[in-house]
Amino acid sequence: MSEKKQQKVKIWDAVPGYDFIKEIDIAEMPSWFQDGTHSIPPVTPMFGYQWARYCGHGLKFACTELSIPTCKGWEIRILNGGIYCAFHIVRDRKEIAEREGKFRQALRPWIEGFDSLWAGYKQELLSIYTKLLELDVDNATNLQLYYHNYDLMHAYMRMWEIHFMAMYSSFNTWLLLEAMTKERFGISDQDPEFQDMMRGFNNKVYQMDKKLWEFGQLAIEMNLEDTFKENKPQSILGKLQQSEKGKEWFKKFMDYMKTDDVGGWRMRRFTDLNEPYWLEDPATPIGLVKDNIMRGISYDLEATRAEIAKRREAAIAAFLSRVPQEEKDLFEGIIRLSGKASSYSEEHDLYCELFVHALMRRGYLAMGRRLTEQGTIDTPDDIFMMNPDEIDRVMMIPESHDMRWITRRRKAAWKETHKNSNPLVITNRASIEEAIKLDLLPSGDAIAIKIIVGEMPQPKPELKADLWGICGCSGEAEGIARVVIMYEDLKKVQPGDILVCPSTNPTWTPVFGLVRGVITDTGGTLCHAAIIGREYGVPTIVNTQQSTSKIKTGQRVKMDAANGAIYILDK
């Protein structure tokens, strides 16, 4: 009895209000699915709390505003640093019909003018961010920091609202195209024929990649090539300061980081606050410039992109030639809009998560420094062991409070979570399959099905593969496996490796130019790894569930991405 009680206190303590508590949460929603894309490595209490609260809100907001007929939104809880989702499925047919009528109306403006709506929302977000940046966090009063906590949360809330409005409205088209091409022409979204139609779009991710490539070219022109080639990213910074040319290059680089609308407000790690953003630690983007220089001048990003875009138009034309005349307009409309879904999926992170997380890190670290000065917590980043309500309680008079008993215990617990992996599904249904059938699929939720949980791999026994996944980008590859769990370890990846990781996000993008293939544990055909794999033409297999635990760094592996098959050659 007493043991059980202790257990309760412990789990309740990590993210108060959003801790997963089996007795309560399973009674409310029978199945909880791990969001593998965003849960590995385990999230900090601060991040888990904010994510559960506001990402959850954004999903409910979009499902309500768009009146998604079969899903009212998601519930999010945190268990041992892992994010779990359950879906408010609408099961009553009358209610579905009523929601459907409104859904048709709400969807229309997005279908008619996705680009201009998204452009307007981007502007709204950027103006919210500009306002947050007006606060000089280092010289702010305690009261100003107290308010800043709420301003950050408001910004986070709005970001998720916009994020999911655009995401729900664009992904539906992708799903429609997938369903129609499969049904009518036998082409799945894992087929190259399909994926070629969705590649080579010009968006912010590409523009920034190109800019970094240009800075590499500039460094070469300015005779700084060796500084980049011979040093590690961290020491390149110091070396640059030793020459006039170096200083000049660095100033230009930092001007871009500060003046571009996104620039250096970009987190290195996608789903947490505990790693620096580019402006805070320019070694990260400088490392990317270095990678570009190492690849040599023959690597021409622009030409690669143009080639993929050309191939895309050819693929679309070839596909449309198979479509009956009276349906050409319809299919072309769906293909164009699906392309936007793919492009939005890639670009939105820069304006949504990566940017606002950088601002949250900036603000909360400043609060952390203030609390550390007063002995409330041990170190500034212990702030990530607290939640906003606790910050509210101590921010005005930090000298009177001691939160170390909380932050120390949570930090220890959080570190502990790195040692264990969380279950994929927590359910009181008879099996995982039944949980998926009853509590996930009826939601009709494109985001849950295509990104978070993903489709289950369909093994083909005759191929005798060791692991199975979903094809993100077709192609065959063979190479040395490099298992990367944390972003810090990404620098160990060697050219020609096959990257094996839990999932990827936009900060990982440049590594796709380096590797022969990518294998992830989680995700679906619209996850980051799949989209970027297609953009870079790198064979990619996603949602393998267990690659990071079954494959060891150094093993030779072979990928047959079109079939989702992975072979471990050195056993």
Residues that bind other proteins (CB under 8 A): 68-70, 91, 93-94, 96-101, 103-105, 107-108, 111-112, 172-173, 175-176, 179-180, 329-330, 333-334, 337, 442, 444, 446
Find all residues with CB under 8 Å of 519, minimum gap 6, and list them: 467, 469, 481, 498, 499, 500, 501, 540, 541, 542, 544, 547, 551, 557, 559, 566
* Smallest distance from other proteins to CB 104, Å: 5
Cβ 92 to other proteins shortest distance, Å? 10
Q: Which of 376, 424, 377 is nearest to 83 (CA)?
A: 424
| Max Cα distance, the chain (Å) | 75
User: Closest CB to other proteins among 89 and 208?
Assistant: 89
Q: Cβ 314 to other proteins, closest distance in Å?
A: 22
CA distance 59 to 167: 10
Q: What is the nearest approach in angstroms of other proteins to the Cβ of residue 161?
A: 21
Q: Are strands 82-89 and 31-34 parallel, antiparallel or unpaired?
A: antiparallel
Q: Which residues pair with 483 in a beta bridge?
A: 500
CA distance 115 to 441: 29
Structure tokens at 33: 């699915």
Q: Identify which of residues 164 and 487 has a Cβ nearer to other proteins in the complex.
A: 164
Nearer residue to other proteins within complex by CB, 175 or 467: 175
Find, among 204, 365, 349, 346, the residue nearest to 276 by Cα. Answer: 365
Least distance (Å) between residue 97 CB and other proteins: 4
CB 389 within 8 A of CB 162: no
Q: Is the peptide bond before 398 cis (omega within 30 degrees of 0)?
A: no
| CB nearer to other proteins: pick between 151 and 332 | 332
CB atoms within 10 A of CB 50: 26
For other proteins, the closer of residues 172 and 540 by Cβ is 172
Angle of CA points 301, 302, 307, to nearest 5°: 100
CB nearer other proteins, residue 98 or residue 124:
98
Smallest gap from Cβ 442 to other proteins, in A, equals 7
Please enumerate in sequence order all residues whose Cβ is within 8 A of that of 202, keeping only pairs 6 or more positions apart, or say none.
Answer: 305, 309
- Please give the angle made by the CA atoms of 146, 149 and 152, to the nearest 5 degrees: 145
Q: Angle, to 10 degrees, between the axis of helix 204-221 and the axis of helix 244-259?
A: 170
Nearer to other proteins, 325 or 400 (CB): 325
d(CA 112, CA 516): 39
477 - beta bridge partners? 559
Q: How far is the CB of 432 from other proteins (least distance, A)?
A: 22
Nearer to other proteins, 84 or 114 (CB): 114
Nearer to other proteins, 109 or 554 (CB): 109
Among 439, 410, 441, 417, CA closest to 426: 439
475: alpha, beta or left, given left = phi > 0 and alpha = psi -120 to 50?
left
* Nearest distance, CB of residue 181 and other proteins, angstroms: 13
Tokens of 335: 């293909």
Q: Which is nearer to other proteins, 105 or 234 (CB)?
A: 105
In angstroms, rounded to a whole number, what is the distance separating the alpha carbons of residues 72 and 64? 6
Task: Report in angstroms how near the CB of residue 179 gets to other proteins at its nearest.
Answer: 6
Q: Across-strand partners of 34?
A: 84
Contact 528, 536 (CB under 8 A): no
Nearer CB in complex with other proteins: 103/487: 103
Rounded distance, CA 447 to CA 192, Å? 22
Nearest CB to other proteins, comparing residues 172 and 427: 172
Question: Would you state the structure tokens that stand for residue 325, as one six-digit string?
Answer: 């005349």
Question: Toward other proteins, which CB reaches closer, 77 or 99?
Answer: 99
Q: How does strand 82-89 pair with strand 71-79?
A: antiparallel
Q: How far apart are CA 114 and CA 172, in angstroms?
A: 13
Beta carbon of residue 542, minimum distance to other proteins (angstroms, whole number): 22
Shortest Å distance, C-beta 348 to other proteins: 20
Contact 68, 444 (CB under 8 A): yes
Q: How far is the CB of 425 from other proteins (least distance, A)?
A: 22
Instruction: Give the residue among 493, 525, 527, 485 at the shortest CA–CA distance from 512.
Output: 493
Closest to other proteins by CB, 112 or 416? 112
Smallest distance from other proteins to CB 96, Å: 6
How far apart are CB 332 and other proteins at their closest, in Å? 8
User: What is the identity of the amino acid at 362?
Assistant: R
CB 119 within 8 A of CB 79: no
Kindly tell me which of 180 and 485 has the beta carbon lying closer to other proteins.
180
CB of residue 101 to other proteins, shortest distance in Å? 4
